[in-house]
Amino acid sequence: MKRRRFLQAAAASTGAALGSTFPAPAISQDQIEWRMVTCWPRNLPAIGVGAQRIADAITEMSDGRLTVKLYAAGELVPAFEAFDAVRDGIAHCCHDAPYYWVAKHGAMPFFCSVPGGLTPPEHNAWIQYGGGQALWDELYADFGIRGFLAGTGGPNMGGWFRKEINSIDDLDGLKMRIPGLGANVLNRLGVVTVNLSGGEVLPSLQAGVLDATEWAGPYNDLAMGFYKIAQYYYGPGVHEPGPGLSLTVNRAAYDALPGDLQAIVRMAAGEENMRMYAETVNGNAAALDALINKHGVSVRHFPEPVLQAMLEHAAEVVEEAGAADDISRRTYASWKTFRDRMVVLQPYGALGYLAGRAAYYG
C-alpha cells in the first residue's frame, strides 16, 4: 500500500489529524490500528517471537483499543527499510537493532551495542539510569521517532567460520557478514565485511559468497541453520557483547495516543526487554548442547592474540565513532564513564562470581 493511501486510511479510521502524519485518536473506546514492521524473519526464536509478543501485549493490555499488526522483514518493507518506514509513516513502529542505522548517524550503535562494550544488564542500566535514554531521545528527535528498549539477543558469539582461525593471519581476506562498528573492527584485521539481512546469510554461505558470518548466539544461530555450512563456531564475540533491541515508534503517532495507551506501549516494550533475555539465556544453553552433541559443531575460543587484537581495534573504532559531532561526543563520554565503572565493579560482581564458579565446576 502506498504511503498516501495508508495515511488516508488511517485518518478515515481514527479521526482528524492534528498537524502530523498520524491522526489524534479520541480518548474513548474507538479502536486504533498500528502497523509494526521488523528486521527479522517471522517467528525467529526470541527476536522474531518477541516482536510478536510486543504487538500482542499492546493489543491485550489496551483491551483492543490499540491493535498492532506485525509484518516481518520483507512482508511490508525490506528489513533494512524498517527505520525509514517508521520515520515516513508507512508503519507506526518497528522492532529493530539501532546499530543497523549507523549510516543515518554514527552515534546509533551506542544505543544497541558497540565492540568491547556493555553486557545486556549493563546496557539496560546505562540506558535507564546512566543517562543513555535522554541522549537516545535527543538523537532520535531529529528523525521524528522515539526508541524504547525492547529485548536483546544476549552476548553474541564471534561467528561461524568455514575454516579454523588459529592466528590473526587467518582473518586476512576472509569474507564475512557482520554489521555496525563490528565490521570496522574486523576490517582493520583484514576481513572483507558485508551487511546482509537474516534471510540472505545462509544462501550466501552456501554459494561461497561468504566465508563466515555472525548472527547472534546459539539459540538463534541453530534456528538459522548455519551449522549446515560452517562447522567452526568461535566465541566470545567482541563485536556485540549485549545488543539492545528497540521498539522504534513514529513520534507523531505516539504523541497522538492518550496517556494510558502511551504507557501501554512503553510497558509492553519493557516487559519484552526482560522476557527476551530470559528466553535467550535458556535457549542458548540448550542450543549449544544440540550444536555440539547432535550436529558435531566444533565450538572454540578465539586464540588469545586474536581476541586481544579485536579488543584493541574495538577501542579505536568506538573512540572514533564518539568524536564525530557534538551528540556523538556527549554520548561517548556518558557511555565510556559508565563502561569504566563496570570494569572496576564486575570483578567483584557477576564476572568474579562466574569465573570462580567456572573454575570450581569446570
Please compute the mean of the pLDDT values over residues 324-352 and round it to a whole number. Answer: 97
Q: Render pLDDT for 300-317 as a digit per residue (tens, 0 to 9).
A: 999 999 999 999 999 999
Q: Give me the residue label for grid cell 570496522.
A: 184
| Residue 15 within a domain | yes
pLDDT surpassing 70 at residue 269: yes
pLDDT surpassing 80 at residue 285: yes
pLDDT surpassing 50 at residue 14: no
The pTM is what? 0.88
Sheet containing 145-152: which strands, arranged edge to edge?
66-71, 32-38, 93-96, 244-250, 145-152
Confidence label for 9 from pLDDT (cuts 50, 70 and 90) = very low
Amino acid identity of residue 13, one-letter, is S
Q: Percentage of the chain with pLDDT > 90?
A: 88
Question: Taking the CA of residue 184 as centre, how many other CA atoms within 13 Å lie in the half-sphere pointing to its CB?
Answer: 19
Identify the residue with better confidence: 324 or 21. 324
Query: Using CA atoms, how far apart are residues 146 and 320, in angstroms rounded to an integer?
Result: 25
The total number of structural domains that make up the chain: 1
The reported pLDDT for the residue numbered 316 is 97
| Residue 343 within a domain | no
| Residue 322 within a domain | no
| Residue 220 within a domain | no
- Determine the 3-state secondary structure of 231 from DSSP: coil
| Residue 304 within a domain | no
Query: Using CA atoms, how far apart are residues 362 and 352, in angstroms rounded to an integer?
Result: 15
- Determine the 3-state secondary structure of 67 from DSSP: strand
| Residue 209 within a domain | no
Please compute the mean of the pLDDT values over residues 259-264 and round it to a whole number. Answer: 98
pLDDT surpassing 70 at residue 160: yes
In terms of residue numbers, what domain contains 17? 3-153+242-281
The reported pLDDT for the residue numbered 179 is 84
Q: Render pLDDT for 185-243 as a digit per residue (tens, 0 to 9).
A: 999 999 999 988 888 999 999 999 999 999 999 999 999 999 999 999 999 999 999 89
The reported pLDDT for the residue numbered 106 is 94
| Residue 68 within a domain | yes
CATH number at residue 95: 3.40.190.170
The reported pLDDT for the residue numbered 29 is 56
Phi–psi pair at 227, nearest 5 degrees: -60, -20
| Residue 29 within a domain | yes
pLDDT surpassing 70 at residue 5: no
Name the average pLDDT for the chain. Answer: 92
pLDDT surpassing 80 at residue 36: yes
The reported pLDDT for the residue numbered 11 is 39
